[in-house]
Structure 1
Amino acid sequence: MLKLIPFVVIAFSCIARLSASDLLLVEDGHARAEIVVAAERPRMTTLAALEMRHFVQKLSGAKLPIVTTPSKTDAIKIYIGRSPATDRLGIADEGLKYGAYRIASGPNWLVLLGHDEDFDHTKMPWPLKRNAVPEEEAKWLQATAGQTDAAWGYPFNSGFKSLWSPGDFKEQMTARYGDDFSALWSKRPGSPEGFWEHDLGGSSNAVYALLRSWGVRWYMPGEVGEVVPTKKTLVVQPINKTIRPDYAMRDWNWYNFSGFAYDDVIWARRLGMNTGHDLVGPLKGPHGMVHVMSAPAMKEKHTDYYALIGGKRDIDHRRGGTPCFTAPGLEKETVQFLRYLFDTYDVPSVDVWPCDGLQLCQCEKCQGKNASDLVWGFADRVARQIHSSHPTKRVTCGAYTSYRAPPPSIDKLSPNLAVWISNCGRPLMLDDVHWKGYQELMNGWRARVAPGNILRLENNRYHIFGDGPIGYPVIHPRSAARDLKAMKGISLGDTGEQSQAQSKWRTPAIEHITLYVESQFLWNADQDVDTLLDEYCRLFYGPAAKAMYDAIHFAEHNLAVKDQSRNGGRANPMNVPLTVSLRLREKLEQAQQLAGDTIYGRRIAAIQADLKSKEQLIADDQQQRQALADARAKAPVARAHAGDDLSTATKYILKDNTTGEKSDVTTQFRVGWAGEAIVFEVVCSEPRMKQLQVAQNVFDGDNIAISLETPLHSYYHLEINPDGIVADGNPGPDWQSLAEVKTERGDDFWRVRVRIPVVTADEASSDPRHRIGGAKPTAEAPWYFNVGRYRVVDLDKPELQAFSPTKRGWHQPARFGKLLAE
């Protein structure tokens, strides 16, 4: 880390002449020091000592002894972790929170110290194995039986996944660290064989800092990802430094930590990552609200806690049900649940983030309120009650999807309410328009949330889908650095899902580039990202350093920022043109040739292996083009009337979106081409007008949808509710149509008339975030489009209708109809 440069260069240089105060740990491959640890010590202290010995031997060939009682020889004493010796020296771990560490030296001694602590699973009904979950859940239900008149879900059911303890734990570790591993590894009675991801290991961070000063790097998991130079002599100059991370929480949300290889889990520790357990505890979320509502007894006894959707209480959504945020009983139940957890287990925080895929309740109290006001109003009321009884505890909730924006109706949130600001498109942070929107979002939250109560959750799952190589990598080190630099002092930390599957990194040769930079900026957000990347390329790719630096720069700066709408409509920065993907392959091939058959070349070859070949890319593109052409040859055609007056325009009737048959309740539309605008008039028959559902976020209530693909852009998308509120995107949220909308309601219908401005290619290029870019649709250059209706009213299940049925949701451009203008 560049933060360490001032003392790395001065304190740890291997110099030709030694002063009397310098510490000579290894001389010409011979050990001149010993590692000293306390007789009784946490697991991570032992691991830190083993890692120190392991890499000193790799660097120099010398194997340092690990002892619990310092010898009486003149060997330099390297004290790792707290011990009686560090206590006598007056060097303590007090105040070294969240992985902070201290490195200090004196006559014949060196201290590498942080706060180390074993995670104690016995404080909670915490399962050690999957088959122990039923037993521990039964204990939970028994313990909580008198706390609620129904039952609460079991919040610790996946706890076993945080334990790394394979059946051959000792064999693996002995093979790596030596025959004395079993004697050194202290297993306390009742503790598991291995270690928890929640174990605190500040002393390890001190060890890794020292090793970095000698040139060791861990860029990706495994030996292929290590850089370990040869240094036969290792010297430490006088030093007394305390290093604190810029972010307290530095978490990768593992998909089953227990199943990963040791190279994967130790890589994270070597980079200074943690789980934030000492900050937010085991119940940090997301979607912690599910535990209040998921028990069958709760669903049976308190149906009023669950959202009214289509005339029925939704008790089954994702097994937990959907909450009604205005239900007084649910608020009281949630407060009871949190107070029980705080009183019984003394956890630092509990999460009330609602279920994934949230739909808004349609009851009388909820109707007409936007998602942010409902979710955050509920979270705020719960947090204020907790603050009165447990003022030192946090309540967390997520700013996510339809409730990511700050609640308009709340000026200041409870001082103990923390917000996970989630999924803000980190790969796109170099785009100025995206960055401006992100900053506005952050400023809105900062105005409402007490200092110290903002956290970031950014999922990085772009490479997770599919089993084989990927088309284009979402490498974004500079975007990540920009975000973390700006959020220093604002956000307490970072977490998020990663591109992992079946307890493996999905594309480690690609994924590590961004993750390495993120890990370094979580410690030191003030460093220069280009300097960091320059060192990375120089050390990791050797003679191909410049070529790889250029390839990484090209990959990030050509992500699909302006147009994210290809590939079935998913807003995905991987959706780049074929020419961009092919050019990246060429750059990697050039770098490969420079590196040759070396370790540097093998690292570049690993990146190429994670990517589809040029031949496969071309074949896939041709197949997709042919499939699109075949589908569109059968597309229904609509002709836009000339002008704004649609009274004599052709009427088109929507069909059932799944079956393609006529719907019982009809929807019709007319369309017109007005030169500088495209005009739609949609009339929705509705025999149940009194049950019409109008949602502020548009999506959760009755609405109509319009999708438009022009020769310049694929594609734009709008959804409009009966009040004329528009939710538009391309299909991401950054584009605005600037449409003029008029609505009307009758006894048995509602109508939307929308006029969407259309601009030329030059105007669209200069301002891609507003209006539609295109020209009059003709037979030579047609548009493709769809008109849909999402009918909710009081139906058990919403009804979807479309001009060109997609058989799924709206975002299926291959199934769009064709639009021509008269």
Structure 2
Amino acid sequence: MIKTIFAHRYLRRLIPAILLAAATAAQAAGTAGLEIVKDGKANAVIVTPKRANKTVTYAAQELVYHVQKATGVTLPVQTEGSGQSTGTRIYLGDTEAARAAGLDGQKLAAETFVLRTASNALYIVGKDANEKPLDQAQPFGSFNTSAGTLFGVYEWMDRDLGVRWLWPGELGTYVPKTRTVVVQPVDETISPRFFQRNVRPGLEYKFGHSALGFTPRAAEEYGREQTVFLRRYRMGRNQPMSYRHAFTDWWEKYGKDHPEWFQLVNGKRGPINPGDRYAMCVSNVELQKKIVELWKERGGDKSQGLLSFINAVENDYLGSCECEHCRAWDGPQPPDRDKYYAPNFKVYGTHFMSDRYARFALEIQKLAAKENPNAAVIGYVYFNYFQAPTSDIKLNSNVILGFCPSAGWYPRTDDEHQWYKDQWDGWKKTGARVFVRHNYFLDGYSMPFIVAHQFADDFQYQAKGGMFGTDFDSLTGQWSTQGPTLYLLMRLHTHPEAPVDKLLAEYYSGFGPAAEQVKAYFDFWEKYTMDNRQLITDVFYDRVAIRWRTWAKAAHRVFPENCFAAGEELLAKAEAAAKNDPESAARVAFLRTGLTHAKLCSKVAALLTQADPQSTPERGKAALEELLRFRRAHEREWFSNLSHSAWVEDISWKLSNETKQEPEYYP
């Protein structure tokens, strides 16, 4: 008995020492990294669970594709337990080996993953849903499927393969060539920085002149490539949430019985004219109760653990109710409320209502919290309720606000840029959670309109200031002319603190020996854009053009034909530098296609713009036919989302009588 007790005590002391020695040995073995491809030969196998879900299956495909692109080697994929293999193993998802190593992806938070190396293995284990990882929810194209293992694969490829996704498609996928791939030692658990990461895909623009856009088959293929591209940048969100302008059909539903829920303007409730847009009487308690009642009917009061979202986003219309109760909620009118708004802008001179709408969101949240403490109200700060409140109103973290500037298009002056930062700070001080809901990426049409550094400064300031998420409207897909800005838009979602020029250097590295010349090319266009801020402002004011919708009315004024020569010369230098590197040369040619396209668009704009009374469909017929031939010849290069360009052109140009001129788009 004594000997047995002694033996047990000895083992209890010895086992920790054995485990420590094993861990030390494993760590020492992994110090130099794990070779998964060595001298052009596979030295590893990818192992998936016996019942791999759709996310893990796709993650394995992505891993095989990128390693093959880097090395020419196709890593074998096998189901756990289906065969014997030696060498390194890359375990993806919920394998038995991962569980034996103490890794359980289903216990992680949504979209979270673990990267861990052992003596002969790399584990990539995430929180995964068994749904298609590329499925997007409508209407805004958000990814709702938790794809932690897939995100882990992308993180590893970013770190150890040096993969850079420059734009959608094969040519835009840059992977440095190598004969040996080494997994560096790692043991990290990583979650997305932001609750939501969304760039609306811009694939459903409506326009009358279909010949201007993609052909149907090309549109489908482009959409598929862009969807893959967006997922590679880990677009998604921690849980589904739905919001849009919430009350667009309420007058039809409730106006007869409850006119008091709607705006009071000039003594009348509801739309000023039949069919007009309208705002709500947000101080009305019964309106607030109805919003909460509808949320309860959808089961919002029964959610457990997760946030339960209530959509309280005002209609796409100025706040306008003049009733005494709403006016009583307003804070002091800020003296600078019109300082950065053009006199012809609809917000200019209107009554300031930010405190009113902040309180509207808070009252709804307080009502709903009685039913469910996780109730979270979503609203916008927009139009004449965009500027920060002036009454020191205090909100809370279950009030979620989309920061949607109605003006402030890039490029900005320094003081204007600071003013918009001040508004962000003012809303953050209320205690609400704030997400970016910009429309700025609808700007620029097909032109080489580059605002990379100013945009990045904005994004990084907001990220540092507690940004809850993003929802950018929308991706216009001008990859060949606005590449650096779009690259930052994507890359900052995963590396928000990284030095901007370091991120841009990644983009330029994709052009190989022409990297320096391509940088000079885009530096030229960024300087051109920033230096012409006043011209852009004046032209759009003069032409009564809209930055997000009728850019093609003014494109030739901002980018006249004679401005393109300098860019063409700089591209010629890049072409010369890349001539002995076929892949880099093809990427420079991609930029050349975009510049030629922009020049053709400017030419047509000068002849067909609706801003010119002399324009007729016949006047620009030859130039338009030249543009269309060019688009048909190059559409599958994905240099531009041609359907977005067509959407802008359809109400910017005087086209043939067969073209339907749609009214201003109302989402």
Q: TM-score, normalised by structure 2?
A: 0.70
Please tell me whether the aligned partners of residues 386 and 405 of structure 2 are also in contact (alpha carbons under 8 angstroms).
Answer: no
Aligned mates of 1:206, 1:159 — CA distance in 2:
22
Q: Indicate how the Cα distance of structure 1 residues 428 and 586 shifts in structure 2: closer, same or farther if over 3 A, else same.
A: same
Cα distance, 1:308–1:349 mapped onto 2, change above 3 Å: same
Which amino acid is the alignment partner of residue 591 of structure 1? A
Rounded to whole Å, the distance in 1 between the matches of 2:420 and 2:294 is 34
Match for residue 695 of structure 1?
none
Tell me, yes or no, if the aligned pair for 1:426 and 1:458 is still in contact at 8 Å. no
Q: Return 80-89 or 208-217, whichever deviates more.
A: 208-217
1:379-425 CA-to-partner distances (Å, cap 9, x unmatched) read: 22112222333222311111112111123335212442111111376
Is 1:496 aligned to residue 496 of structure 2?
A: no
Contact 1:24 1:234 in 2 (8 A): yes
Offset, 1:550: 1.8
In structure 1, C-alpha distance between the alignment counterparts of 2:601 and 2:140, rounded to whole Å? 39
Secondary structure of 2:403 counterpart: strand
Partner of 2:183: 236
**363-372 or 245-254: which moved more?**
363-372
- The structure where helix makes up a greater share of residues is 2
* CA–CA distance in structure 2, aligned partners of residues 290 and 277 of structure 1: 28
Report the counterpart of residue 327 of structure 1 in structure 2.
284
Q: 2:246 aligns with which of 288, 301, 318?
A: 288
Shift of 1:536: 1.7
Question: In the superposition, relative to structure 1, how do residues 458 and 386 fare at CA in structure 2: closer, same or farther (>3 Å)?
Answer: same
The answer to whether the 8 A contact 1:473-1:555 is kept is: yes
The separation in 2 between residues aligned to 1:626 and 1:268, in whole angstroms, is: 36
2:446 is aligned with 1:446 = no
- Tell me which of the two structures has the higher relative contact order, counting C-alpha pairs closer than 8 angstroms and 6 or more residues apart: 2
Deviation of the 1:76 alpha carbon: 2.1
* 2:154 corresponds to: 208
Alpha-carbon shift at residue 616 of structure 1 (Å) = 6.5
SS of the equivalent of 1:334 reads: helix
Q: How many residues align?
A: 529
Q: Is the 8 A contact 1:308 1:324 kept in 2?
A: yes
Q: Secondary structure at the match of 1:522?
A: coil
Q: Does 1:462 align with 2:442?
A: yes
Structure 1 residue 78 displacement after superposition? 0.9
| 1:270 lines up with 2:270 in the alignment | no
2:528 equivalent among 545, 558, 565: 558
Residue from 557, 569, 589 that aligns with 1:605: 589
Letter in 1 for 2:518: M
1:314 to 246, 266, 270: 270
Alignment deviations for residues 200-248 of structure 1 (CA, whole Å, 9 cap, x no partner) = 1121122123223223221110001011333233222432233444333
Deviations 1:318-339 (A, max 9, x none): 7875312233321211121233
1:405 aligns with 2:387: yes
2:67 counterpart of 1:109? no
Letter in 2 for 1:534: A
- Cα distance, 1:24 vs structure 2: 2.5
Q: Please state how far the C-alpha of 1:115 moved relative to its aligned partner.
A: 1.7
Is 1:595 the counterpart of 2:566? The answer is: no
* CA deviation after TM superposition for structure 1 residue 485, in Å: 2.0
Deviation readout 1:132-188 (Å, 9 max, x if unpaired): xxxxxxxxxxxxxxxxxxxxxxxxxx956689xxxxxxxxxxxxxxxxxxxxxxxxx
Cα distance in 2 between the residues matched to 1:324 and 1:20: 65
More strand by percentage? 1
Q: CA, structure 1 residues 338+210, in 2 after alignment: closer, same or farther (shift >3 Å)?
A: same
Q: 1:423 aligns with which of 366, 391, 405?
A: 405
Q: Deviations over 1:670-725 (max 9, x none)?
A: xxxxxxxxxxxxxxxxxxxxxxxxxxxxxxxxxxxxxxxxxxxxxxxxxxxxxxxx
Matching residue within 459, 472, 480 for 2:455: 480
Q: Is 2:500 aligned against 1:529?
A: yes
Mapped partners of 2:275, 2:130: distance in 1: 34
Say if 1:78 and 1:112, in contact at 8 Å, map to a contact too. yes
Compute the displacement of 1:615 (Å). Answer: 7.2
Q: Which residue of 2 aligns with 1:352?
A: 312
Q: Is the 8 A contact 1:307 1:361 kept in 2?
A: yes
1:395 partnered with 2:377: yes
Residue-by-residue CA offset, 1:733-760 (whole Å, 9 max, x unaligned): xxxxxxxxxxxxxxxxxxxxxxxxxxxx
CA contact (8 A) 2:233 2:493 kept: no
The equivalent of 1:711 in structure 2 is: none
Q: Matched residues in 2 for 1:545 and 1:62: separation?
A: 27
1:623/1:404 CA distance change after superposition, 3 Å: same
The range that moved more, 576-585 or 390-399, is: 576-585
Q: Distance in 2 between matches of 1:20 and 1:473?
A: 46
Quick one: percent identity of the two aligned structures? 22
Structure 1: unaligned runs, 5 residues or longer: 1-17, 122-127, 129-157, 164-195, 631-807, 810-822
C-alpha displacement of 1:426: 7.5
- Describe how 1:127-138 pairs up with structure 2 within 5 A: none
Distance 1:613 1:416 in 2: 45
SS in 2 for 1:491: coil
**For the residues of structure 2 that align with 1:629 and 1:256, how far apart are their CA atoms?**
33
d(CA) in 2 for partners of 1:625, 1:263: 34
Distance 1:404 1:253 in 2: 22
Distance 2:609 2:491 in 1: 40
Deviation, 1:28, is 3.2
Q: Select the residue among 160, 171, 177 that pairs with 1:224.
A: 171
Q: How many angstroms apart in 2 are the aligned matches of 1:387 and 1:19?
A: 50
Q: Is the 8 A contact 2:354 2:384 kept in 1?
A: yes
Contact 2:410–2:440 (Cα < 8 Å) also in 1: no
Shift of 1:20: 8.7
CA distance in 2, matches of 1:625, 1:286: 32
Secondary structure of the 1:282 match is coil
- In the alignment, structure 1 residue 304 sits paired with structure 2 residue 260: yes
SS at match of 1:565: helix
Q: Which amino acid aligns with 1:86?
A: A
After TM superposition, the score normalised by the length of structure 1 is: 0.58
Query: Conserved in 1, the CA contact under 8 Å of 2:166 and 2:483?
Result: yes
The alignment status of 1:540 with 2:499, answered yes or no, reads no
Q: For the aligned residues, what is the CA RMSD?
A: 3.7
The 1:310/1:54 distance shift into structure 2, 3 A limit, reads: same
